[in-house]
Amino acid sequence: MTRLDELFARTRAEGRAALVGYLPVGFPSYEDSVAAMVAMVEGGVDMVEVGVPYTDPGMDGPVIQVAVDAALRAGSRVAHVFDAVRAVTEHAPAVVMGYWNPIEKLTPAVFAQRLADAGGSGAITPDLIPEEAGPWLEAAREHDLDPVFLVAPSSSDERLEVVGRTNRGFVYAASTMGVTGTRDVVSNRAEELVARMREHTDLPIGVGLGVSNGAQAAEVARYADAVIVGSAFVRALGDEGVDAVRRLAADLAAGVRRTA
């Protein structure tokens, strides 16, 4: 049983969804990004997505794009990601969220080795599909890492089936089409997508894209196994600092527990 398996077993026993928070490494500085990740856990986040800064974050909205650009200009590199994972895993399970190019450049074998050595639990690869992920799947399996692929409302039943049998840890369900970012209302297509995905897997299903407050977290927690929050944390950190991240985490954590 992996650390993610243990996490979801615990949250299910508590009758609630897990809370997952994302922040990119190096924004606004390496030290502040790690402090903010730890603050998320202190506020109630169960799993941390450690973001890999990348020059072309095509699936990310403007809030994350600006933050990642600032991180890169400040000197953030892939090597810092492993340092951040090592720091965060002392407090909660950590998965890397990263585009395929940096992994391929380092090579899947080396990336997996370094991620495992840092105590990481797996990696979410938003621009990689299972059919093209052979080297990564092999490396992840060798180092007991959980590979996580995405599904979206547009995904066919065939795509859901492939992801359902390939993923480990959990399935990432993107609740809307388009780029990441907070929204006033979480797409009502998310619940439909989760129901469709459950026909193809027994893995936990997390919903991301759009959640920004405790009320929205409670809404998603009614039908999902995890509530994934990114842009709201990035905005809180950029606007008000680490303490704001902790406060937001507490609000979101209260939201996922309303269904318990």
Q: Which residues are catalytic?
A: 49, 60
d(CA 204, CA 226): 7
d(CA 121, CA 20): 13
d(CA 124, CA 120): 12
What are the phi and psi torsion angles at 203 (to 5°)?
-65, 155
Side-chain-side CA neighbours of 158 within 13 Å: the count stands at 2
Dihedral of CA atoms 195, 198, 200, 203 in degrees, nearest 10, equals 150
Please answer whether residues 40 and 246 qualify as being in contact, where contact means their C-beta atoms are separated by less than 8 angstroms: yes
Please answer whether residues 180 and 231 qualify as being in contact, where contact means their C-beta atoms are separated by less than 8 angstroms: yes
How many H-runs (helices) and E-runs (strands) does the chain carry? 12, 9
d(CA 8, CA 166): 18
Q: What would the two tokens of residue 251 be? A: 């609000």
Closest residue by Cα to residue 140 from 163, 119, 118, 122 = 122
